[in-house]
Structure 1
């Protein structure tokens, strides 16, 4: 077979296509080739020079054009009937044949026709503008309904534009073109109308949405399938805390994303978050969200510090601490420190029983610990204990007078301001196992700090005893009964001592 060179004026090159070259008496497609957008003669020369590059296919083989390519059938008549002389796949319809016929096929330079067919998914659809210009006749149909009809022989290029609203989903566009005599050209285009005042149709929600979470990196990787809308501007990624309704835009925040993957680092709080993707078109319409997909982030966030930490002294002396829990819901325990040393771990918001010294300043801190082991900042409080470790001075002016009803004691009260009471002691003489005498003292009464006398009822037996009064301050400091500073007074009770 020899390819004929056409004799018409120079024509513009054809777009990229798959070409079926007819041969044989039935004119059935014999060869299927793929070529780039070169001139017809350059393509022919390349095929001839390559020798073995053409691949024979059965005569019944059909050309399939992947959407959104146009399938173009060329006919040697204007009724577009019979077997096509050439089948190609075109990315656009924009041809200027001049006074000749299409390249790389045998067609008459006049009275030939082309049918272009395209089926594609228009996503959510919406408003479109269809434009057609041709010399000579042209018809444009959508799903079998004619939308442009300029089917006549013209000496000049005729044009027409129509605005259409295309429903969502898959639709078929068919273009019929015929040239009778003279120059031949054809151009067809369909474009979405992207004005916000015209396009009110939301894109479809993206499909194929998945998320994967890497706890080590605290990274969420979201993936989805590209939308079919021709006016798609991109995508936005949203995130919300599970259990709430407020979404935060975390991807495509200023301009929509043009890729179909996105990574995000959620707050490392150990909480559950939901993600969704929304498509947005050039008119600013945003789709509904995809199905919400959840992840639970790793917990690397410490709870807030306890608040309102207070310290007070109670008996012992000991310290009691109390505080208010932070707002975090996953607090498991609290660490209590005294002067930087851990003294206890508790689960309640209080702590007691830490013994302290008098007249000493302490700094206590408390830290909250959550279930993941994150430790909060410290709440701190300082406290200086009151008091001292010095016993009140000895009671002076001790007098003991024996009476029939006992021994009457008198003394001078200790006027130190921190004396809370006095204790009265009586000692009797005893002999230890070695025959050595010693005084054995016992407490006989508590009296107020201002008391200065006391009658101790006792037997009238002529026994010699000793008495002492010892002051006790509010810190429980007091002289020991054995302290040499204690003033003891000796007295012999009335009566006759018992015979040994």
Structure 2
């Protein structure tokens, strides 16, 4: 006869049981895995002799539970096997003192202005409870382009605020040196004085109210599509952009500046701008000034600024064409690849006599307007594009509405500055 032995022996007590208090009122217990274990039970009491309350069960080797703040909490953990047999208890005591550092702030960024820097950052959600219960941030600054804890200065923030710790905080630093490099780092401090590691450092060029020095190497080149203005790069390392001014020389020798937005056609060269107005032989004065991160810039009236007075090419036709078009709406444009013209013919009586249209383009060499197609465009045509135009030139055109006997009953002249911004 065979007898079945019933297992009534529980696993050994968990080993290596430790407790860590964090976020003010949470205790985290950790232990080593016990052999022949299906699950663990965690008990707690506020007195060493009990009674002990079952806080929960887990199949993991750790457990998080709420504990008493700054008071002892007594824990017992035991293992149970698959048959439900319990083992011996392992014990540990928490004093309720939070010694766990928060996570570091992230996303440190800054808006630098003359007189102050506005720092702001993000904080993981894990800090929200600490923040709501008295946690805060510390902002540090060290000179130079690397963060040196030995040379750090704690910033006294003029303003520090955060409606939600998950969104982080911000700080106005008004004590930083002007016009130099500093490096910031931020930490989070919980209500129990535990400080996080530093955030990723942020190098900042601090603001100032001093305009960059004059731009050198200014050269203005007349072209068929405008005036190409070029200059040398500023040696200063806080330049955001260059601004080109155009002006007109007055009878008394002064310059009437037309504004900083009269030359704004971009090129692929950061040190050049194409002033793409019609080259019609006018003389203008040009100046280039540098603008720094904080908007400081010289005005072209400043005696330190070099100006260049240059006359445009005059590419206008020597033949005058008078506009005589009242047949309907029209307009011209320039796409990225070619000039074009669109028109309507809505004067019923006169348009009925139109048998076609002719588009001509001024030829500077021949000093004449030359048709751009064989014969006439059909009477139903309402658009035309110049497929042979090339960038870097200014083109002058005429559109004529023609009757069967060759009479021109409507003329529309226009021009296109076809810029080459490479």
Q: TM-score category by the smaller chain?
A: 0.3 to 0.5
Higher normalized contact order (CA 8 Å, seq sep 6+, divided by chain length): 2
Q: TM-score, normalised by structure 1?
A: 0.32
